[in-house]
Amino acid sequence: MNSAHRNTRVAEIDWPTLEHAYGDASDVPGWIEGLGDAEKVEESLHELWGAVLHQGTLYDSTAPAMTSIAAALGARQTADAENTAWLLLMFADAVRDYEQVGLEDPETVALVRSARESLIGIAQLVRPLISDDGPEAAAAALLQAAAHTHPCAQRTVDSAALAARAGSRPAGYVEQACVAALTTLGADVSPALADGDPGLAMAATLARIAVGGNQTRDLDALVRGWELAVEVVPNIAFGVGTLPEWLSAVNSGAAAHVLAALPVPDEAAISGLVDVVIGSRSNAAAAVRRLLAVAALPGTEPETMIAALRQCPPTPEVCDALVALAEQVTDGGTATIGSSAFDTDARSDAAFALLRAGDGRWSRPMAQALLTNPAARGLMVATSVSGRSALGHALIREHAPSATMLVAAILQALRRDPPADPSRDGAGHLVTLLASWPAETVVGALPQVRELLGVAPKAVADALTAWGDTASIDRLREAGGSGDAAVLLAVARLTMDRNDFHRVLDADPRYMESAVLELWADHTDPRFLDWCRSLVGTDPAAGVYQRGDQLTALRILAEADSGAAVTGWPVLRSLIDAGTEPIEDAIRLALDWRAQRLLPPEAHTDFEALLADLVVTDRTNYSGPLVKTGVAAAVALLDLGLPLPGTPARVAKLVARAVTDEWARDLGLRLAERLTVTSAPVRRAVAKKLRSLVDRDERFDSTGDIAVEDERALARLRPILHDLEAD
C-alpha cells in the first residue's frame, strides 16, 4: 500500500496507483475538481464520501484526497464550503476512531500514522477560514483541535488565529467553536470569557466534558444551562444529532450524571440514556435506574419507555417494568426505517424482550397485540437497536414455545384483512411459526391454515406437511400444478412417492435447493444424485447459501458412494481455503470424512496443513478479515489432537478478535474454553487479552440488542477467564 501523500496539488499525485473503496483512485481528481462547480459539487461530495471515506474507512487515497480538498477549501475555491468542511471533519473522526481501536497490523498502523500527519497539514490549509463568517469558519477552528489533540500529533498549532476570533464581539457560533478548540488544546481561554458571554462559557464547558472532564462544576453548569447547551453544541461539534446523543458518545460518565439529573427528560434525553446503557458497562446501572424511574412516572408514554427498556440488560426490575408498561398499551403504530414504513405494536416489542430474557410472562402481551391490533397480520418486531423483523420470523428464531392463548391469537391475526402492500403481509411467517410447534398444540388451526394456501403457498404447504395432513394432498396438487416447486415438494413429502419427488426437479427448484436437499426421501435415487453432482460442480459457489448447498450435496454423495469423497475433495478444499461462510460446516465435513477414512493419507496431511495455514494467515474478503475462519480452524486442530501453530501472542490475538466479533463470538468463546487446558504461555497470553476485554468499559458489538448480548457474553467469558488465570 502506498503511503499517503502530503502534496496539495492534485495533478502531482499519481492517483491510479492509489485505491479507494471501489478500485483505483484515478477518478478522484475529477471529483475534487467538481467541488468548485455549483452544478457538480453535490455529486462530487457524495462520491468522495462514498468512495474515498467509505463508511469511515481509510485508504491510501484518503489522506492525499483530503489534503487536496483542504487546499481548495482554504483557498475558498469550493461551491459548497459547509459540506466540504464537514467531509474534512468526518475524516478527522475516522482517524480518531482508528487510533482508538488499538491497531496491530503494521500496514494499517502506517496508513493511520500518515493520515494523522496529513491532518496537521489540513489544519494549516484551512486556518485562513477562521476569519470568515460561515459554518466552514467554525469547522476550520474545530479542525485545529482535531489535528493536534492526539498524543502522537506535533504540537505546532498556531492558536493566535483562534484566540483573536474567540475575542471578537458580538460573539457568535464561530467564536464558540474557537473557544471550544482552544479549550480542547489546553490553551488559556480566560481572556475570551472575561465579559461572561454565556454561549462562550458553555462552549468551554462542553469542550472540557468532551475530552473526558467530569468536574462537578462543569456537570452542574450543563444541567443548569441545558437549553443553552442544546443551542451551543452544534457549533462546537459539527454535524451533531442531539445534545444527549453527543454527550453519551464523548463522555458516558458525564452523560449518565447529567441526563439523570434533568428534571423532565424528553425523548432525546431518554435516547441518550439508552446510548449510555449500550455504550458503557460502568455507567449503565445509573442510566437504567433513571430509565426505570422515568417509566414509573405518571403520564410517561409507555411506547417510548418500552423502546428504551427493551435495550437494557434484562434484570428482574426491567422485566417487571416491561410487563407493567405493556399493560398500558392499547393500540399499535407505525415506524419508518429509511423509506420503508411498517406496522408496530409496543406490546409485541415488550413481549419479545421478555421472551429473550426467559421471562414466561411474554406470552400475554404478545397475545394481546395479536388479538386487538388490526394490523397484527403484518406486525414487525424490534430485534435490535435499529432493526426489525416480521413477527413470526423473529419468534421462530428465538424458539418461542407454544401456548393455547398464542395459537388463538395468531389465528385471530390471520383472519384480519391483509395489508394493502402484499410485501408487508406477515401471514406466511405466522403460519411457519404455527408449524414449528407440536401438531397437538395447533390442531385447531388446520382448517384456517388450509384456506391460506393461495396467500402463502410455501409456508402453508410446509405447515400441512409438518402436521402430516394427508387430507390436503389433492388441494396441494392443484396448487402446485403450475410448477410451484415448494408446493410440489410438500406433496412428495406427504405421499413419499418417487415420481412426486421427481416432479419437484421438473419444476426447477431454483432458490429452494436447500429444502430439497434436506427433505428428499431417497438418497439413493439416481436422478437425485445426478442433481446433487450438478450442485457441487467444480468450483466454490459465489453465494453463501449456494456454498451451503454444495456442502450438503457433497455429504449426500459421499454417503451414497464413498468414492465421491475423493472426487469431491478438491471442491471441499477450495471452500475451506477461501475461508468464507459456511466455514464451520466445511471444516466439519472434512473432519467427518477424515474420521471415516474416506480420503487418502495425502489428503489428510493436506487438510491438517490447510488448517494450520488458516490459523496463522488471515483470510480476507471485500469487507476485511474473515475472523471466524482462523478460529474454526484452530478448534478443528484441537479436535484432531494437534497443537496450534503460531506464537502464544498470535493465538491470543485470534481468540480476542473472535470474541469481539459479533459473528464469531460463540466460536471464540469455545476456543478460549478449550485453551484453559493448554500450555501455560498460551493460557497467560490469552488470559491477558481477554482480561482487557472484560475490564474495558466499551461493550461488545452485537447482532441484536447490544447491552443484552454483552451481558450474556460476559457471563460466559468470566468463568473461562477464571480458569485461564488459575495457577
Q: Give Cα separations from 116 to 2, 94, 154, 235, 420 (angstroms).
A: 15, 10, 10, 24, 53
Q: Is the dihedral of CA 567, 570, 576, 580 positive or negative?
A: negative
Residue 30 CA from chain centroid, whole number: 33
The three three-digit cell numbers of residue 28, written as one number: 478522484
pLDDT score recorded for residue 254: 97
Q: Is the dihedral of CA 672, 676, 678, 680 positive or negative?
A: positive
pLDDT score recorded for residue 1: 33
3-state secondary structure at position 341: strand
> 376-412 burial by CB neighbour count: b if 16+ within 10 A, else e?
bbbbbbbbebeebbbbbbbbbeeebebbeebbebbbb
d(Cα 624, Cα 337) in Å, to the nearest integer?
Answer: 27
pLDDT digits (tens, 9 = 90+) for 680-721: 999 999 999 999 999 999 999 998 899 999 999 999 999 999
pLDDT digits (tens, 9 = 90+) for 551-597: 999 999 999 999 999 999 999 999 999 999 999 999 999 999 999 99
Question: Which H or E element spans position 81?
Answer: helix 81-101
Which range among 150-164, 531-545, 554-568, 699-713 shows the weakest confidence by mean pLDDT?
A: 150-164
Residue 716's nearest CA partner among 678, 669, 656, 655 is: 669
% of residues, the chain, pLDDT over 90: 87
Q: Residue 510: which residues within 8 A CB-CB, separation 6 or more?
A: 485
Asked if pLDDT for residue 382 goes beyond 70, the answer is yes
pLDDT digits (tens, 9 = 90+) for 662-676: 999 999 999 999 999
Q: Is the pTM of this model over 0.75?
A: yes
pLDDT digits (tens, 9 = 90+) for 30-49: 999 999 999 999 999 999 99
Asked if pLDDT for residue 6 goes beyond 70, the answer is no
Torsion angle of the four alpha carbons 541, 544, 549, 551, in this order, in degrees rounded to the nearest 10: 80
Q: Residue 277: which residues within 8 A CB-CB, separation 6 or more?
A: 284, 287, 288, 291, 311, 312, 313, 707
Q: Is the dihedral of CA 598, 601, 604, 610 positive or negative?
A: negative
pLDDT tier at 3, thresholds 50, 70, 90:
very low
Asked if pLDDT for residue 293 goes beyond 60, the answer is yes
Residue 280's nearest CA partner among 248, 306, 257 is: 248
| Composition of the chain by helix, strand, coil, percent to 5 | 65, 5, 30
pLDDT score recorded for residue 339: 73
Q: What is the mean pLDDT of residues 250-272?
A: 94
Q: Residue 52: which residues within 8 A CB-CB, separation 6 or more?
A: 20, 21, 25, 28, 31, 59, 61, 62, 65, 66
What's the one-letter identity of residue 136?
E
pLDDT score recorded for residue 620: 85
Asked if pLDDT for residue 106 goes beyond 90, the answer is no
Q: Residue 393: which residues within 8 A CB-CB, separation 6 or more?
A: 426, 429, 432
Q: How many residues are given for the chain?
A: 727
